[in-house]
Amino acid sequence: MMENEKTTALIPSVGADGGQPPHNSTYQSIPHETCESNLPEENIEEMREKIRRMNDPRYLHTVSMTELYQTAYKSRPPIIDGLLYAGAYILAGAPKIGKSFLVAQLAYHVSTGQRLWGYEVHQGTVLYLALEDDFQRIQSRMLKPMRTGPTKQEKTTEIYFDEKDPTIFICTHNTDLKNRLTAYSRKHPAVCKLTDVDQDTGCKEFEIEKGRFSFRLTAPYREERRRAASEAAKNE
């Protein structure tokens, strides 16, 4: 008993001595299985209707209260930590109070990645649209220094102590006092130590034992001594 076997005819190689064989068969070497969709017809129609609604210019995306409670939303990454996040903002205020300078300052710090008012800034690309200004005005604004440090009035020195604690706490912006206390703390770490440094403002905090830090009151110079000191300074 002979079994019928399906065989595939050998196809001669294409070359100069052979012609292209006729190929009228629609047989495919890889079987094509019929794929059935798992989505019901009503679900497909629902998806199509949703796409049509979203393509409508008047479409407004809304969220149900159930979806709001049950969905785990990811927070938007900050541009300036704790201060500025991605989104649209309206900056409103009275004229000439510095709104444009504030926006320019924000743009400058985001573009350079420099800290702003003690906040960490994530560097990024900035597009600044000054639609009401000409080039000269934009240039003059951008060339002005972006001051973020404290003013002289804000550079204070605070000295705190009470009658019970044997330690004096000093927080100062004064350069001379900072240098003297820093040198003293390195030489005598047992009685004086540097506890904190503000990298943005330059303020330093120290703790020093009572008796190691004193105040001196001096009487006003007499007029004769003041003149003598002035003349001596001129001759130097």
Q: What is the DSSP code string of 125-166? A: ------TT--HHHHHHHHHS----SPPTTT--EEEE--SS-S
Secondary structure (H, E, C), 44-85: HHHHHHHHHHHHCCCCCCCCCHHHHHHCCCCCCCEEECCCEE
Which of 88, 112, 143 is the endpoint of a domain?
Answer: 143
Asked if residue 3 is part of any domain, the answer here is no
Residues 177 and 214 placed together within one structural domain of the fold: yes
Residues 117 and 170 in one domain: no
**Pair 58, 84 in one domain:** no
Confirm whether 234 is domain-assigned.
yes
pLDDT tens-digit readout, 186-203: 999 999 999 998 877 789
Structure tokens at 120: 């960490």
Report the C-alpha gap between 96 and 3 in whole angstroms.
99
- Cα distance between the two ends of the chain: 131
Q: How confident is the model at residue 183 (pLDDT cuts 50, 70, 90)?
A: very high
Q: Does residue 16 lie in a domain region?
A: no
Range of the domain at 53: 44-70
Which amino acid appears at position 156 of this protein?
T
Two structure tokens written together for 164 = 């019970």
What pTM, to 2 d.p., does this model score?
A: 0.39
35 inside domain? no
pLDDT in tens, 61-75: 888 899 888 888 887
Shared domain check, 230 and 155: yes
Whether 109 and 179 map to the same domain: the answer is no
- pLDDT band at residue 143 under the 50/70/90 scheme: low
The verdict on residue 130 lying in a domain is: yes
Residue 13 lies in a domain: no
* Domain total of the chain: 3
- 102 with 128, same domain? yes
Quick check: is 24 in a domain?
no
Residues 66 and 83 in one domain: no
Query: Does some domain include residue 222?
Result: yes
**Looking at the structure, do residues 207 and 227 belong to the same domain, yes or no?**
yes
Q: Which of 147, 142, 78 is nearest to 117 (CA)?
A: 147
Please list the residues that pair with 121 across neighbouring strands: 80
Residue 110's closest CA among 123, 129, 93?
A: 123
**Using the 8-state DSSP alphabet, how is residue 18 labeled?**
B
CA distance 212 to 188: 10
